[in-house]
Amino acid sequence: MSYPYPLVVFDLDGTLVDSAADIAEALNRTLQDWQLPRVPEATVLTWIGDGVRRLVEQAFTAAGSHVDLDAVMPGFMRHYEACLLRSPRLFDGVQQALQGLRARKVPMAICTNKPSALVAPLLRHFGLEDEFALVLGGDSLPERKPSGVPLRHIAAHFGVAPEAALMVGDSITDYRAAVDAGMPVALVRYGYPRGLDLDTVEAVAVMDDLQELLAL
């Protein structure tokens, strides 16, 4: 069977990988370093998606701290790396969906706001390092999601018009990036939506299981 999209671009955290507990632990260790109280994972979920600096900024603002973020970030990055492989898991259906797309010879890429250096170890952990022909991290280009620049960059790399490709994500950041790039978007219900109303959003599909991609 042919597939209606000649390129599928995936978000990572919240779409392919459930990493919230590890990101929350890294953030909480950082808060503790600065004698600030830990926060619940559910709260951290509302901050994930706009890159690590924005994540830390929101946590320290919520704690009422005005410390210079430049002083905080090196410690956070050490904790982030230390916690990266603590307990991540692939969401149900991810492995099968990727296998199904690969069987149809659909090129796949990743567009994440996670720092580039931490993407490859995570993909290797799950044996997915060869699934994606291109991987863009949050620091790969001057702009990151919700800008559409990374998605347009990926589409150009494959010689595909943005409007012909498909973005698959879970959050308002992914949705806004797709809209800005003029790229159709499919969304998952199980991720970290951060205020995105999945019942009213205009999308190709809103999925409970990533395997639903194979039926498009």
Cβ neighbour number for residue 104 with a 10 Å cutoff: 10
Long-range residue pairs from 33-39, CB within 8 A, at least 24 positions apart, any chain? 33/75, 34/60, 34/65, 34/67, 34/72, 36/60, 36/63, 36/65, 37/63, 39/63
11 is an active site residue = yes
Distance separating alpha carbons of residues 50 and 195, to the nearest angstrom: 13
From the list 151, 141, 158, 17, the residue with the least C-alpha distance to 90 is 17
Find the catalytic residue in 11, 18, 22, 50: 11
CA dihedral over 134, 98, 77, 64, signed as positive or negative? positive
For residues 15 and 194, the answer to whether their CB atoms sit within 8 Å is no
Distance separating alpha carbons of residues 136 and 16, to the nearest angstrom: 15
**Residue positions annotated with a catalytic role:** 11
